[in-house]
Each structure stands twice: as C-alpha cells, then as structure tokens.
Structure 1
Amino acid sequence: MPDPQETGSEQISTEAPAKAEIAEAEKKAPRPRKAAKAQPKRSAAKNTAKAVVSESASPAAVKAPRKIYSARERTQKLGQIEKSISRGESIKSATKQAGISEQTYYQWKKAATAAPESGELKDLLALEEENARLKKQLAERLRKENAELKRKLGLN
C-alpha cells in the first residue's frame, strides 16, 4: 500500500506542470484590447492635426476642423437666421439650420451691432479719400513748379 504522503506529493508534482503549461499558454496568447477611453479635450490646432493623421479612424470620431467665415458669409448667415426667426422658428433651430452654434450666432450678432451703422463711418472714409486725392494734386503741382524753376535757372 502506498504511503499517503507520497501520493499527495505525486499529485502535486503532476498538477504543477499542468499549471505551468497553462500559465505559459496564457502568456503567449495575445491580450484582448481595451476599449478606447475618452480622451481629454485638446486645442483646435491639435484636433485638426490629429484628424489629418488618423484618417483610418471612424468618421464619427474625427472632428472636422474649424471653419473660418468671411465677413460676407457671416452677414449672409445672420440674415438667414433673422429670416428664420421672423417666421417663428426658435433661435436654436435657426442656427442649426444655418450650420453654426448658438454661441457663434450671438458672438457674430454682438460684433455686427458694435460696428457703427450711421453715416459717420462713410463720411470719414470719403474725407480720407478726398484727402489722399488732394495730396497727390499738391505733389504734382510742386513737382511742376520745381522743374520750371530749375529750367529758368539753367540747372537742367
């Protein structure tokens, strides 16, 4: 009859290699990848650079670069939104239809009203244009007089 202590040690020795084999198999098997964590917000410049680099990413994950509108485009969008609002639409739906955020709408509206609407600006621009024209005329007359004086004195 075998000794009980020996039997236990045999079982342990047979189980130990099996566990070692399982551990090796687990080490060699590739680990499952974790789901991508939400990344912290970065500045617009970094987002656009990342969007260009990672073209293989899903379209929903890639954020489009910021659009910079010209003054004419801004006034067109503001006019479009004002028309929508006058028809009874909410500001939220009107801005969404125009393709800008509400915050952008309010910033543009504030900037547009800050510019003077009166004729003072037009008058100032007209005066500056007239001033430039008069300076050119004066310069021409002085050149003619200077050339005439040189001719009379025989310096030419």
Structure 2
Amino acid sequence: MADLKESEANQAPAEVPVKEQTPDIKEKAPKPRKRTGQQAGALRTRAAKSAPQASSSKAVASPTVPTARRIYSEKERAQKLGEIEKQIGRGESIKAAVQKAGISEQTYYQWKKAAGQTTQSDELKDLVKLEEENARLKKLLANRLRNENAELRKKLGLA
C-alpha cells in the first residue's frame, strides 16, 4: 500500500489541470445590484403568480400593483382634501379616507401642508386688504364728523 502511494506521488501528472494553466489574474466578480421598485414589484408579482392558488374558503390579499403616477391640479387637490376632511369628520380613519380618495397618506400630508401654506398667505393678503380698507373708512368717517361738527358750531354761533 505504501508503495502505491509513493509511486503515485512520484509520478508527474500527464495533464495539467485547467486552473494551473491560466495566469494568476484576479477577475472582479460583478457586484450584486439593488433592485429598483419596478424590478422588486415584478419579482413579487411573479412570485404571487407562481404560488399555489389558495382554496376559495381562504381570503387572499392581492398584491398591490403600482399604478401610474397622476398629476392633480390645484382644484382637484382641494376637492380630494375636502372629501377626506369630510370623511374624517364623520369619524372615519385617515388611512381609510385617503384610500377611498385614491392617494397615499404621504401625498395627503404633503397636499395638506401645501394647502395650509397657501391659505395662510391668502389669509394674510386678505387681512392686509381689510386693514387698508379699514384705514380708508376711518379717514372718511373722521372727515364727515369734522364737517358736521363745523356746521353745528356755525349754527350755534360758537365758531
């Protein structure tokens, strides 16, 4: 036995393995990339399609399919915010009201914040206009009262 092992060890291999023939160059392996939202969603939907179908007695939540992004006008935003506020006023949760409106909670809060800022600036403009009108009316009233006072003094002979 020992003789067989020694004879095998002394013999040079006739063929050189492939690894020994290649030069010692380190090749960089490609880094795994993070999946984007669409790719991850596609994987989820593929996994959902390949999963075995549940029996009709069990309720299965369907995977959420991302919808196309929509840009709403200011008027549409105000309408949706109004609808949501009405539903919240009726005692419905914000999450449910926002879902019924067809927007995300983050979108709701962003729109609400933006609407709050514009209404504050609109209120400020209205307040400035009212103050200007108030000052104008005060001057007008003061002039009328001076004129009436002057007429009364003339009639009474105090002037």
TM-score relative to the length of structure 2: 0.39
